[in-house]
Amino acid sequence: MAQGNSSGVTEFILLGVSDNRELQLLFFTLFLLAYAMVLLGNLLIIVTVRTDPKLSSPMYFLLSNLSFIDICYTSVTAPRVLVALLSGHKAIAFEGCMAQLFFLHFVGSSEMFLLTVMAFDRYMAICRPLHYTAIMARGACWALVAACWVGGFIHSIVQTVLTLQLPFCGPNTIHSYFCDVPPVIRLACADTALTEWLMASNSGLISLGCFLVLVASYALILAKVRARLSQGHWKALSTCASHVMAVTLLFMPCIFTYLRPAGTLPTNKYVRVISTIFSPMMNPLIYTLRSSEVKESIRRLWKR
């Protein structure tokens, strides 16, 4: 960071999603509504799971943690982009940019790891029901969630250190609405080929690896239950279908962004809108609308 500051770059300019004022107001309205839905929907899930003893299973414990992560993940980018769309102020301090980059990868990678744990939970519940209670005990669930946060922290530290070691001495315009590794390292006054390769090895392979593990777990579940689709198994498969939708919304933009050399394709920032804004918004809708237990608990909570 000292190298970047000594070169004279004290702030970056985030170009945002559009230069057109009418479109900026439209995007502000859409992002504000989406952010409000993220906050309200995920807070509702957290409160419902924590207050209803009937939702004490590991699946709902992990779901409430996913809702907390979604709130944190969207809050890293949404408030600043809303202020920028409304006021037109697009500058962000060098330190603020690095902090946003760190927390974006910290929370985002923690969510990927948690989704992988949730897939493991569904696999154990469907394919190993006799061992499920012993393996997914509350202590084990807490340990798995803690491991997700630790893994996210380690990943984010690596990404941030790689970025801070680069010198920034020239252009400071970022072709995005938030600070991320690919657009930031393109502004460095140095050869970034090694950094781009390390970024793809870190973020790209983590995204792809978690996604492949998730796909494999669902394939094993389908192979296990295809010959005995009772009502209980249909319910479990319905839960997995919701999980697949949430996973696709998060992982596909990340794989597209990180598993290739850094670039400034115009579609980059629009693709990331899906994972940073709309994926956290869809999670509570997907899980609550497809879970009769959660809907019934929300009704009881509302009556109280």
- For 240, residues 6+ apart whose C-beta sits below 8 A from its C-beta are 122, 126, 218, 221
Give SS3 for 92: strand
CB atoms within 10 A of CB 91: 13
Compute CA distances 121 → 213, 292, 295, whole Å. 13, 19, 21
* Tens-digit pLDDT string for the chain (304 aa): 444 444 567 888 888 777 777 888 888 998 999 999 999 989 988 988 888 888 888 988 998 999 999 999 999 989 988 988 888 788 899 999 999 999 999 999 999 999 899 888 888 888 888 888 888 998 999 999 999 999 999 999 998 998 888 888 878 888 888 888 888 888 888 887 888 888 877 888 888 888 888 888 888 877 777 656 555 556 556 666 666 777 787 888 888 878 776 554 545 667 777 778 877 887 777 766 666 777 777 777 777 6
Question: Cα-Cα-Cα-Cα dihedral of 109, 237, 296, 66, to 10°?
Answer: 0
* Domain layout of the chain by residue ranges: 11-299
Q: Can you give the pLDDT at residue 71?
A: 93
For 230, phi and psi rounded to 5 degrees? -80, 175
Cβ 13 vs Cβ 90: under 8 Å: yes
Q: Can you give the pLDDT at residue 1?
A: 41
Q: Can you give the pLDDT at residue 5?
A: 44
Architecture of the domain spanning 11-299: Up-down Bundle (1.20)
CA angle 298, 217, 221 (to 5 degrees): 75
**Taking the model in full, what pTM does it have?**
0.86
DSSP code per residue over 238-276: HHHHHHHHHHHHHHHHHHHHHSS-----THHHHHHHIII
Which candidate, 154, 66, 75, 179, places its Cα nearest to that of 117? 66
